[in-house]
Amino acid sequence: MHKCCSLRLKRRPQRRTNGLQFPLNYQQIIGWIVCVVSVLVNFLLLTRIQFDDLKFASLIIYSFVYAVYVITHFAASLVDPGEDDLRKRDINILPEFDRTIHAHVIENGRCHLCNINTTDRKTKHCGICNKCIFKFDHHCKWLNNCVGRRNYTVFILCVVSALLITLFTVILCLIDIYIYFVSPQELSSAAQTFINCTQLEDFNDVTKKYCKSSIYFLIFLVTFCTIALAIACALLHLLCFHIYISILGVSTYEYIMRNSHTKSICCKSCRTNIRRLYIINQDKIKSNAIVSSETGVNGENITQEHDNEISVKNFINTLVTDELNRARIFFLYEKSKIHPSNEGRS
Ligand SMILES: [Zn+2]
Ligand SMILES: [Zn+2]
């Protein structure tokens, strides 16, 4: 057995096989609750408000999109994105990683914890799932599972179907709000009965149109529309991000790592530039003091203003150059680290 895997080291938890395994994540449970609540509200309230034709169409659309969402959600949670070699093995207890022996969990294509040879350069060992993920993208807390090559497609389909549900909800709410103000008689008979204010004994022109129940109806539509829109924006942002990184040819993990790396480079260089500017200014002030003693007060002011202007220009130039360098580092794909499986190709 390898040194790092010897029995004397502290044991890590067993590796996880899917997202429905205990312990569950609280975000995963919140996601389920939101899904169940949205099903109840959409099927029991929102579709019942629509006029007959739209009610029928919305029931079909919701049934189809929810079915896709539930299937892809459970598929993304249940598919084991681990390395092939690992999935064939029995679940064993992993050793604690010893940094005094190895600098990284995966070195030269070998994982010192899973005790396997990884098959791809993008394979990463997830500390939460305790296993090597083939073409690792990220660990999703909403699924309580890692997203890798094996479940990436169903993960994206899950996001798309959730986005369609929320967008359709927003559209239905907006249609209902419009109909409520323009021609409420086009709403379903159940909705018309609910918002009918004429049943009140004493009503004037205002209460006739807006009584308690009709205001509740409007508040429900606006609130539900706002919540659905907020979730839709978050999902759209996530989807656009995945389209963007697929164009760049990097995974979520690689994107985050490079971004944080380049940010730290920028911060370091900014601090260095500010320090450099401070030192230059101090030198200028000292030299101006010497010049002023020879040329007088007016000469000192003119020279100092001129030097300050040059210093600010230099500083801005340095910042712009750093930003350009940062962009160049970000868009360049780092090919220095060669995985054994890619050695032949390079
Ligand atoms: Zn591993
Ligand atoms: Zn994971």
For residue 55, with 0-12 CB atoms within 10 Å meaning exposed, 13-18 middle and 19 or more buried, which class applies?
middle
Identify the three-state secondary structure at position 14.
strand
The residues annotated with a catalytic role in the active site are 140
pLDDT, position 24 = 86
What are the residues facing 82 on neighbouring strands?
133
Q: In this structure, which ligand is nearest to the CA of 92?
A: 1
Q: In this structure, which ligand is nearest to the CA of 143?
A: 2
Q: pLDDT for 16-36, tens place per residue?
A: 888 888 888 888 999 999 999
| DSSP code, position 147 | E
Ligand 1 center to 45 CA (angstroms): 48
Residue 95 near residue 12, CB atoms below 8 Å: yes
- Helix, strand, coil percent values for the chain (each to nearest 5): 65, 10, 25
Ligand 1 center to 8 CA (angstroms): 19
Q: Which residues contact 338 (CB under 8 A, 6 or more apart)?
A: 121, 346
Ligand 1 center to 29 CA (angstroms): 27
Rg of the chain in Å (alpha carbons): 31
Q: In this structure, which ligand is nearest to the CA of 147?
A: 2
Q: pLDDT for 99-138, tens place per residue?
A: 666 667 787 778 878 888 888 888 888 888 888 899 899 9
- DSSP code per residue over 68-93: HHHHHHHHHHHS--B-HHHHHSPP-E
Would you list the domain boundaries of the chain?
A: 3-248, 252-342
Per the model's pLDDT, the better-predicted residue between 208 and 71 turns out to be 71
What whole-number distance in Å separates Cα of residue 135 and Cα of residue 124?
A: 7
What whole-number distance in Å separates Cα of residue 90 and Cα of residue 73?
A: 26
Rounded alpha-carbon distances, angstroms, from residue 254 to 44, 92, 110, 124, 263:
43, 29, 19, 11, 14
pLDDT, position 326 = 47
- Pick from 65-74, 207-216, 285-294 the range whose average pLDDT is largest: 65-74
Ligand 2 center to 165 CA (angstroms): 27
Cβ atoms < 10 Å from Cβ of 42? 22
Ligand 1 center to 247 CA (angstroms): 28
Q: pLDDT for 175-207, tens place per residue?
A: 888 888 877 777 777 777 777 766 555 555 555
pLDDT, position 4 = 42
